Structure 1
Amino acid sequence: MKQIIPVTVFCFSIILLSINGLPKTHDTCLVLYIFDGDTIQVQIDDAKETVRLIGIDAPEIKHENKSGQFFGEESLKYAKTLLQAKTIRLERDSLCADRDIYGRLLRYVYIGDILFNAKIIEDGYAYAYCTFPFEKKAKFLELEKEARRINRGLWAAVTEGINQKNQNQVNSQNSSITSTTDSSCKPEFVASKKSRVFHHRDCELVKSISQRNLLFFNSYEEATHSGRRPCKVCRGTKEGAIASKNATKTPK
């Protein structure tokens, strides 16, 4: 009878494990180092362990032989602000292995009652990483969707970048034109490859010419010999170019 009880308890434990998956651990530990937004190093008892946070993918930062990804430094700074030198709690997921193929612990990270894995997605500094199953997958996807909807963190930068992409290209072109034409040693007259009109380099309408279509002439005669006529706004002169600042027409 004495031998039956231990065996029964052991079998019951095996059944519970098969139903509930791997047991969760709640290790309290100190954060020693933060590699990026989804990978940290911690001290557990006498051992140092690298922890890969479950369910998130933070942008990579620049390494010696690897270029960084968009918003990587911002994500790292965010993680450092919340985790650096903090005492945290680690928790396993019953659907995940204990370690990944690189030997890193796979864990949820809690700061008090705050689940950092969820918060970094919610605030827009990491993506939901759903290649492998985990218990909080649906929640993390919803957090990412909401962060994207309200333009938080990297999503705000992405949206702003898309909205300003064309404007940035125009600004770059205008800057290039200005740097090319504001010196007395540079060609004084400018035209577009697609136009039969030429301008004085200070003409306001020069800014609307695409950089790839720019043509330069060293003299008024050279410009006219190309078969082009002076711009009706600046008339091909510096004096006329000053008046062009109030013009709204674009070169034809």
Structure 2
Amino acid sequence: MGRITWNLRQRTLGMIIFSLLLLLGMIVTGIVIGDDKLAINPDAMNQEPSLDHLFGTDWLGRDMLARTLKGLALSFFVGLLAASSSAMIALTFTLIASWNRALDRIVTWLIDLFLSVPHLVLLLLISFAIGGGFKGVVIGLALTHWPSLTRILRAEMLQVKTAHYVHLSKQLGKTPIWIARRHILPHLLPQLFIGFLLLFPHAILHEAAISFLGFGLPAEQPSIGIILSESMRYLSTGKWWLAVFPGLSLLLMVLLFDTLGQHIRKWVDPFHGQKGV
């Protein structure tokens, strides 16, 4: 059993490193791409994928590989801000719920309220109300992605509160803030980090969705949603590469983040890791 567990942990660590390297490669490449790579080139309009342009070019002669990598880097930063904000909101509500039963019922009611509204509809309403753009998308994503993580952290918090050492701390006169800081928070941090990673794919996909619908990032920013939206009018003329490669690249980034989160969960949770054996 020990050998099997060790082999499993080695495979898990290998997948974590592999996913991290691919993600870093995509993000760093998108960051270092200069504006000259995104410049209009009338001599290279509507070229199919080739060795000179691996993803082809668009109707303005812009290299689609450069635009796609730039869009993925932008999606990463949107997802980073949104996921980190949602994680902080979830942690705050969980710690508030640990104070007493009345606050726990209020937090539970807020979770049920937000989860009862269709996710994309609520995201569109918040983003539109704030004015759209980068700020509107990030705030909308942050305010709509915290409930599911809060529910997971709350369940972990309730389990910790029943532990003997927590009851002993209460008997010794420790305050709820002391108990939350010393006992509850250390147990929540691993789940918080994993939840933060798993929020990334949802945030990136929802950003692309609302940008595709015209309620997200402005058209001058080369986000994947904007690229896919612009490519729709050219698909009927046979320019399939304008949508296929950006869409597959977005799917690859989402799968890499999901794989990273799942394997880190296996690494930090031995029971979860042995379930896959």
TM-score between the two structures when normalised by the length of structure 2:
0.24
Question: Which structure features the higher share of helix residues?
Answer: 2
| Larger relative contact order, structure 1 or 2 (CA cutoff 8 Å, min sep 6) | 2
Larger radius of gyration: 1
Task: Specify which structure has the higher proportion of strand.
Answer: 1
